[in-house]
Structure 1
């Protein structure tokens, strides 16, 4: 049986790439729309830690950094036990579009989870999560206008 491997979303944003880039890559930006606080070591191999008021955390390892166009990181697969070495890869691509930006987000690597229930937890959870989080990104950007 083949499982879906990637989630892809494209947004048209009414903000220039530099502003979108800052929202994706700074502690202030990430800590507002993608968590409640964040710490960011912005370099390939660096990490970003997202912290929620609930006590949950997520650690991202930066894999690709091409300012202000491409930001990519790996992170643990949703629903797998702590310490599981499998990761998905998330990449944001920013393209200027008039006065705004076309933002494409792709998360891949779900096919490495062969168990149907674990795959469903990871893939469905992140599909719903990105819908919510990208909505929060838009609200954050629009609130800064």
Structure 2
């Protein structure tokens, strides 16, 4: 299975060295995307504060450069944004499930896998359009 995924990934990224036509189609892109997203949702490695692209490549048993190229070319985002979108979604779920008045921003930062509040706030605003404080305040009144 791993070899087939590596072959598909090489083909998708134009890294196939043989003379066969590339097998880049939407089904193959979706297969790799589903595999990576499933891993992220099930194992939640994004909750580790210093999780790196190399860590994901090792976990997925994929060459680092191929995973990076897949994220950049096929998903259209850098690893940091890919990781942070999972962190912010997780944070939104924490906020939605917490009782009003019991939400602590400092705890949200660490529980969501961020290592500092500035990075957390920047990412939160990028993916939700609101600061964490505004998001929480808005939740109280809806």
TM-score interval for Structure 1 and Structure 2 normalised by the shorter chain: under 0.3
Q: Which has the higher contact order (CA 8 A, sep 6+)?
A: 1
TM-score (norm 1): 0.26
Greater strand share, structure number: 1
Bigger-Rg structure (1/2): 2
Greater helix share, structure number: 2
